[in-house]
Amino acid sequence: MTGQLDGRSAVVTGGGRGVGLAIAQALVDAGASVVVADNGTAIDGRGESEEVASAAAAALGETAVPFAGDMSDPTSASALVDLATQEFGRLDIVVNAAAILRDAFVFKGNVDDWNAVIGTNLSAAYYLLAAATPVMRAQAKATEDYDWGRIVNITSTAGFYGNFGQAAYASAKAGLFGLTRVTAMDLARAGITCNAVAPFGRTRVTEIIQPANDFQAEYKDRAMRVSPAHVARFVAYLCAAEAQTITGQLFAVRGREVFLFGQPRPTAHIAKDDADWTPAALHEGVSRELAPHFTDLTTDLEAFNTEPLV
């Protein structure tokens, strides 16, 4: 990717650690300047440390600058966009990777945890897109070919399969995909793409998995062998000129595997054209035509617990 993103300017939220840091590194390696936006918080979103963003930016080199604001605060979004445009003169790439986890079974959760997770994992992405896309759109319109601008939202397979105890996290990640689709539509005429990528990669989050049984121990062992650099390579590809026509898509990257996900569309259908449905007729129609197509309750951990290519 060397040189493919020369002259481009990016912001990466959650860029101080883990998957976000790997993405920031890949963008810098490809020639982009990057604002590393990370408030250095704990996995559960408690506490902050300015050190995380500044250490990451320093390690990335002179084309990276830190931003330590809390992205769940709407004022951080415009401050981050201002910083990128002041430092680099433009903004071409936005990667939303910041996220926190506060897991609880739905029958045990609380509203504060729900709001914190939705605020960081979903609302913060919207705040940043609302602040960044007017700048990106104005830039695109100023060129003749309307062909530049890239947005990548880092989602999770938990948002589409679900996983035990992840009501808030999965809801935010599923919501992020809705945001991805609409952003792709709203910015299509400006030539700005927006895609979602569900990553797999060894980070502090996989490190703290405490296996409760053999299945989870096996999952952790596999997860710990997957470098987040693979995800970063794919995100950098989505940001390159070759990916201009790729938008509104949902991918996953695990090691050297890249998955394209189907998107929910009707897979079966029943209709009554002569009268309203009765309960008995509904039960008969649902059982015969829809039930064979129901989706089972496989979690994402179970669905992806196969040997990774690392």
Ligand X SMILES: NC(=O)c1ccc[n+]([C@@H]2O[C@H](COP(=O)([O-])OP(=O)(O)OC[C@H]3O[C@@H](n4cnc5c(N)ncnc54)[C@H](O)[C@@H]3O)[C@@H](O)[C@H]2O)c1
Catalytic residue list: 169
User: Binders of ligand X among 258-287, rule CB under 6 A?
Assistant: none
Q: Closer to ligand X by CB, 30 or 37: give it.
A: 37
Q: Closer to ligand X by CB, 37 or 132: give it.
A: 37
Residue 52 is a binding residue for ligand X (CB under 6 A): yes
Q: Distance between CA 104 and CA 112 in Å, rounded?
A: 12
Shortest distance (Å) from residue 154 CB to ligand X: 4
Of the candidate residues 200, 219, 234, 304, the single one contacting ligand X (CB under 6 A): 200
Going by C-beta distance under 8 Å and a sequence separation of 6 or more, which residues neighbour residue 57? 34, 36, 64, 65, 66
Residue 204 is a binding residue for ligand X (CB under 6 A): yes
Q: Closer to ligand X by CB, 97 or 192: give it.
A: 97
Residue with smallest beta-carbon separation from ligand X: 18
Q: Give, in order, the Cα–Cα distances in Å from 143 to each of 27, 97, 148, 190.
A: 23, 28, 9, 10
- With b for 16 or more beta-carbon neighbours within 10 A and e for fewer, the 87-113 pattern comes to bbebbbbbbbbbbbbbbeeeeebeeeb
Residues in the chain: 310
User: Binders of ligand X among 93-152, rule CB under 6 A?
Assistant: 97-100, 120, 124
Of the candidate residues 71, 80, 187, 232, the single one contacting ligand X (CB under 6 A): 71
Place of tokens 């951990």: 301
DSSP 144: S
User: Binders of ligand X among 10-39, rule CB under 6 A?
Assistant: 13-14, 16-20, 37-39
Task: Looking at the chain, list the stretches that DSSP marks H as alpha helix, in order from N- to C-terminal side.
Answer: 18-29, 50-60, 74-88, 111-118, 124-142, 158-161, 167-186, 204-207, 214-223, 229-238, 279-285, 300-303
Shortest distance (Å) from residue 99 CB to ligand X: 3
User: Binders of ligand X among 146-175, rule CB under 6 A?
Assistant: 154, 156
Give the footprint of ligand X on this chain (CB under 6 A).
Answer: 13-14, 16-20, 37-41, 43, 45, 52, 70-72, 97-100, 120, 124, 154, 156, 198-201, 203-206
